Homo-oligomer: A and B are copies of this chain.
C-alpha cells in the first residue's frame, strides 16, 4: 500500500478487513472441542472493535520498509496476536470482580453472554494463542516485547492500579501512570513490534517508540473524554461508566477543557517527530485518533 495521497478511511478499512481475515483464520474453529470456549473467544474478538493494534503494527511495519505481506509473513501473525491480547484484557477487565461491565462493543460482555468460568478461560486462551502465533514469527524479540508490555510493569500493572484508584482523589500524574501502563504499553508495543518485524534501524525504532507512547496516552485521554460526552450508540458501550465506577480519569484530574488540550498536544508532539512535509500513514493515524468519536 503506498502512502501517497492517503485516504485514511479506506486505508483503515482495508487493514481492518485484513485483520478480520487473519483473526478468523487463526482463532480455533467452533467445529472443534471445546466448542463453547472457541465460541466465546470468537464472540468477543469478532464483536467488532477498531483493530487499532493490528493497524498500528502494520503501519509501523510499512513505515519502516516492511514489504512482505504474504500469508505467512511474520507481520501476518503479529497482527491477530495483538488483537487477541487486547480482547483477552477486555474480557478479564469486564469480569464482575473487576469493572463488572455488562456491555462491550454494543453487545453483552463475555461473562454475560456465556458465564464467568467461560469468560476467564476464553481470556486465558486468547492470551495463549497470541503467544503461539507470535512464535510463528520466529522472533523471540517480539515475544519478549509483548510479554513485557502486557505484564505487571505494563498492562496488568495498569489494570490493578486502575482498580485500586477507584473512588480516590488522583492527580494528573497518577492518571498518566495508569493510562501509560493500562492502554499505552500495548499500543506502543504494537508500533514497536511492527517496526522490529520490518527490521527497523535503532533510530526509527526509538522514534516510533516515542510516537507510540504519545498516541497511546492521547488515545486513553480521549477515551476518558468520550466516556463523558460521547454517543453511546456510536461507542457501543455505556457512557458515564467511568463516573459510575469512580474511575481515575484524566478529565477528573484536570477538567474537560485541559484534557482536550493535552490530548491534542500529545497528537501534535507525535506528528512533530516526522518532517513537516512528510505525508505518512502514522501521522494520519495520529490525527484519526485525535478526531475519533468511538
Q: Which residues of A contact B (CB under 8 A)?
A: 28, 32-34, 36-38, 41, 92, 95, 97-98, 115-118, 120-121, 123-125, 127-129, 131-132, 134-141, 143-144, 147-148, 150-153, 156-157, 159-161, 163-164
Contacts and interface: CB of A to CB of B under 8 A. Distances in A.
Contact of A159 (B92, B95, B121): B121
Contact of A151 (B129, B143, B150): B129
Q: In the A-B complex, list the 3 residue pairs whose CB atoms are closest, starting with the nearest.
A: A97-B116, A132-B147, A135-B144
User: In the complex this chain forms, how many copies of it are found?
Assistant: 2
B161 A34 contact: yes
A31 to B, nearest CB: 13
Contacts of A139: 140
Nearest to A97: B116
Contact of A156 (B37, B97, B143): B37
23 contacts: A28-B153, A32-B153, A33-B157, A34-B152, A34-B157, A37-B157, A37-B160, A38-B152, A41-B152, A92-B121, A97-B115, A97-B116, A97-B117, A98-B120, A117-B163, A118-B160, A120-B120, A124-B156, A128-B156, A129-B151, A131-B131, A132-B143, A132-B151
